Amino acid sequence: MQTVLKVSPATLKKMAATYPANRKLPAGAAFAAKLAQVTITGYKSGKVLFQGAQAAAEAARWGEVSAAGAGKASVASDLPANFARLSVLGSDEVGTGSYFGPLTTAAVYVASDQVAQLEKLGVRDSKQLTDPQIRQLAHQITATCPYHVLDLAPHDYNRLIKQYNQAQLKALCHNFVLLKVEEKIAPTKPAAVLIDQFVKPATYFKYLRGQEEILRQDVYFKEKGEGYHVAVAAASIVARAYSLATIDRLSEAAGMTLPIGAGVKVDQIGKQLVAKGLDLDQFAKLHFANTKRIRGVR
Ligand code: MN
């Protein structure tokens, strides 16, 4: 199987930044990469050759498909037909905007024959659900669907955020939990993977460069992804349930209820923590501006 694209210099550059440079460059090539099911060679002329079982699918991600010899034909870069009913592996994270508490990322696999059942249970945008509903739905989701959660405690988050920007850290977390679930459901393959979008796809894959394993087959991105497939809504609910449990544990350790968000209330509680002699590193994401306000540093 082979697909040829003719791309602009800008797209060629983007492609070179997206794929791992793990193959020797043939003559005239600008980049060359070998993934699990497709080998990609981009030539300085703008011609990009995709070879292997996933050639067409991988080429379609770039949208500028023109079958070899034929004129330009655009390929839908949007979701496959009937997407909401497909077997989808979805991922989402919570906690990025909250000073206290973890960064929690979850991936959930929802097989097509489970979609209706989860929708009936009320699995939908976690922001519309109360905490008790979140806990109950998460319990039901994790009892029936393969999933994985990465609940990054503040202490670990603070260590990693010195090395990565927040969006990059999120990309690493999504890739990690998605690969874990893919392993758990093997040899079954999801029809598609849907990531609740937080950066452009090209940026997401750029952030993952150098990673040993990158999930990229049939990967789609959508903002408000929970509206496109219940798997993202399920991932969001599971992430939120874990996050709630961790914040409860941290609140207990702090001896006071840790509020979410990054507002005035958060600063007040932060000052009380410090006054008690507690280490903010155990409770909060230290790179937020709240830290300076709490510690009174200018
Ligand atoms: Mn999200």
pLDDT in tens, 195-247: 999 999 999 999 999 999 999 999 999 999 999 999 999 999 999 999 999 99
Cβ(191)–Cβ(87) under 8 Å? yes
61-70, 114-123, 137-146: least confidently modelled range? 61-70
For residue 71, the model assigns a pLDDT of 35
CA angle, 58 as apex, 52 and 63 as ends, to 5°? 140
For residue 66, the model assigns a pLDDT of 42
For residue 60, the model assigns a pLDDT of 77
**Which spans in 186-289 are helix H?**
201-207, 230-254, 264-275
pLDDT in tens, 77-132: 488 888 999 999 999 999 999 999 999 999 999 999 999 999 999 998 888 899 99
Kindly report the number of other CB atoms within 10 A of residue 286's CB atom.
19
For residue 63, the model assigns a pLDDT of 62
CA angle, 90 as apex, 109 and 13 as ends, to 5°? 130
For residue 297, the model assigns a pLDDT of 59
Does residue 67 have a pLDDT over 50?
no
Give the distance (Å) from ligand 1 centre to CA of residue 227: 12
Kindly report the number of other CB atoms within 10 A of residue 101's CB atom.
26
Does residue 74 have a pLDDT over 50?
no
Give the distance (Å) from ligand 1 centre to CA of residue 25: 38
Does residue 64 have a pLDDT over 60?
no
Task: Set out the domains of the chain in order of their start, with CATH numbers.
Answer: 2-77 (3.30.310.10), 84-249 (3.30.420.10)
CA distance 114 to 128: 22
Give the distance (Å) from ligand 1 centre to CA of residue 34: 30
Give the distance (Å) from ligand 1 centre to CA of residue 94: 7
- On average, the pLDDT of the chain sits at 91
Give the distance (Å) from ligand 1 centre to CA of residue 178: 14
Give Cα separations from 69 to 5, 74, 100 (angstroms).
Answer: 10, 14, 57
13-17, 27-31, 45-49, 67-71: least confidently modelled range? 67-71
Cβ(149)–Cβ(103) under 8 Å? no
For residue 214, the model assigns a pLDDT of 96
Cβ(195)–Cβ(174) under 8 Å? yes
Q: How many residues does the chain have?
A: 298
Burial 48-61 (b: 16+ CB within 10 A, else e): bbbbbebbbbbbbb
